[in-house]
C-alpha cells in the first residue's frame, strides 16, 4: 500500500498536504503531565484494549506500539514524516500510537493529551479529513467519555486547544512569493483573519524548500467549519498569489527559470553528496518546474515524498545503521538518484 505522502494530487498546484488533528482527554484521568507512570500505563492499556476493533470497524488496518518500545531513530523518523510532534518523539512516560498502514491516520495516546487523533492527506482536503476524523472521534467517545465543559468545550492540556480541540493545517509551496518584500505583510494579513503561517524547514528567515504551514491560531469560540474555512481560504489565497507571481516572472524570464530547473535536476540526478539544505532547494525547483509545466517526467511522482525521505532519521532507517554527517550527505544523494524519475 502506498503511503499517503507517496500519492500526488494535481487539483491545486502548490498545495502539498492537509492535516486535521483533534486533542481529547478522558474524563476519568488527570491530564498526562499530572499522571504517575503507573496511572499512565493503566490508562494507555485500557485505551488500547478499548480501541482494538478500530481497524475492523473502519475497514482499515492499524498497528499499535508503545512509544517507549520503539528505537529513537524510528520515533525521529515518524517525527520527520509529521506523524509525531517533537514532544511525542522524545517522550519518556508510557505512551502509545495506533497507526494505519499508509500512515494517513494516527491516534497518539498519553502525550500532550490523552488522545490525539490525526489525519493527513495529499493536496487540499481539509473537509474530507475532518469528516473522517469526526467519525473516529465519535467512535472513541462512545467508549471513553471525554473531558468536556458546556461553556468552554473540550478541555485540553494546552489552553490554546480548548474549545473544539481542532488544529487544521495545510502545507503550501511558495518559492517566489516568499522572496518578495511584501511577504511578511501577507503573513500579518493572514494572522488578522485567524491563520498562522510558519516555515516547515530551516531556522530563522531561512526556510529550505520554501514549504510553509498554514494553520488556525485559535480553537476556542470558533466552530470546526469556521476553522477549516479560515485555513482553506488562507492557503488558497497564498497559492493563487504565488501562481500569479510566477506567471508574471515567466513572461520575461522563462529561459532563466528553465535553466535553474534543469541545473537543479542535473545536480540531483548525478551528485554523489548533497547537504539537506541544497537538496531541499533543488527539490523545490523541481516541484515548481513540474507545477509550471516547464519540465515533465516519464512517470508521476511525489516530490514531497523525496523531501521527507532525505531527512536524517529516515535516511538512517533506510540504511539500517547510524550515519555520520558525511555518510548522510552521500546516502541523501544516493536516495535521490535512485528515486528521481527520468525527464520526458
Of 99-103, 107-111, 189-193, 288-292, the one with minimum mean pLDDT is: 189-193
> Which whole number is the average pLDDT over 248-261?
96
Residue 116: pLDDT band (50, 70, 90) is very high
Q: Tens digits of per-residue pLDDT, 137-159?
A: 999 999 999 999 999 999 999 99
Task: State how far the alpha carbon of 174 is from the alpha carbons of 69, 84, 280, in Å.
Answer: 39, 25, 13
Task: State how far the alpha carbon of 308 is from the alpha carbons of 15, 79, 80, in Å.
Answer: 16, 10, 7
C-alpha 131/C-alpha 135 separation (Å) is 6
Give the list of residues 6+ apart from residue 300 with CB closer than 8 angstroms, or none. 8
> Which whole number is the average pLDDT over 306-326?
93
pTM of the model: 0.94
Residue 205: pLDDT band (50, 70, 90) is low
> Which whole number is the average pLDDT over 300-305?
94
Q: Tens digits of per-residue pLDDT, 174-195?
A: 999 999 888 888 888 888 889 9
pLDDT > 70: what percent of the chain?
99
Q: Tens digits of per-residue pLDDT, 34-44?
A: 999 999 999 99
What do you get for the CA distance between the two ends of the chain, in Å? Answer: 27
pLDDT at 181: 87
Amino acid at each position: 500500500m502506498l503511503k499517503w505522502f507517496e500519492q500526488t494530487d494535481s487539483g491545486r498546484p502548490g498545495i502539498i498536504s492537509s492535516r486535521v488533528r483533534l486533542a481529547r482527554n478522558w474524563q476519568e484521568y488527570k491530564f498526562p503531565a499530572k499522571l504517575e507512570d503507573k496511572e499512565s500505563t493503566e490508562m494507555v492499556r485500557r485505551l488500547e484494549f478499548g480501541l482494538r476493533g478500530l481497524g475492523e470497524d473502519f475497514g482499515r488496518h492499524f498497528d499499535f506500539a508503545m512509544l517507549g518500545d520503539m528505537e529513537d531513530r524510528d520515533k525521529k523518523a515518524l517525527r520527520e514524516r509529521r506523524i509525531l510532534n517533537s514532544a511525542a518523539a522524545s517522550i519518556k512516560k508510557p505512551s502509545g500510537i495506533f497507526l494505519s498502514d499508509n500512515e494517513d491516520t494516527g491516534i497518539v495516546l498519553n502525550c500532550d493529551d490523552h488522545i490525539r487523533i490525526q489525519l493527513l492527506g495529499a493536496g487540499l482536503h481539509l473537509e474530507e479529513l475532518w469528516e473522517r476524523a469526526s467519525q473516529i472521534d465519535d467512535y472513541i467517545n462512545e467508549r471513553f467519555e471525554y473531558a468536556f465543559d458546556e461553556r468552554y468545550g473540550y478541555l485540553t492540556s494546552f489552553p490554546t486547544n480548548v474549545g473544539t480541540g481542532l488544529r487544521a493545517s495545510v502545507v503550501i509551496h511558495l518559492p517566489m512569493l516568499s522572496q518578495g518584500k511584501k511577504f511578511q505583510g501577507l503573513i500579518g494579513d493572514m494572522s488578522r483573519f485567524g491563520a498562522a503561517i510558519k516555515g516547515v524547514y530551516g531556522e530563522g528567515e531561512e526556510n529550505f524548500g520554501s514549504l510553509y504551514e498554514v494553520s488556525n491560531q485559535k480553537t476556542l469560540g470558533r466552530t470546526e467549519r469556521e476553522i477549516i474555512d479560515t485555513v482553506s481560504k488562507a492557503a488558497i489565497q497564498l497559492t493563487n498569489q504565488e501562481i500569479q507571481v510566477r506567471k508574471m516572472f515567466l513572461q520575461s524570464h522563462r529561459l532563466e527559470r528553465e535553466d535553474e530547473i534543469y541545473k537543479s535536476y542535473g545536480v540531483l540526478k548525478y551528485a554523489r553528496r548533497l547537504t539537506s539544505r541544497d537538496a531541499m532547494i533543488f527539490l523545490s525547483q523541481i516541484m515548481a518546474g513540474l507545477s509550471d509545466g516547464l519540465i515533465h517526467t516519464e512517470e508521476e511522482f511525489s516530490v514531497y515524498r523525496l523531501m521527507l525521505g532525505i531527512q536524517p532519521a529516515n535516511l538512517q532507517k533506510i540504511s539500517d545503521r547510524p550515519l555520520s554527517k558525511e555518510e548522510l550527505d552521500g546516502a541523501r544523494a544516493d536516495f535521490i538518484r535512485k528515486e528521481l524519475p527520468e525527464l520526458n
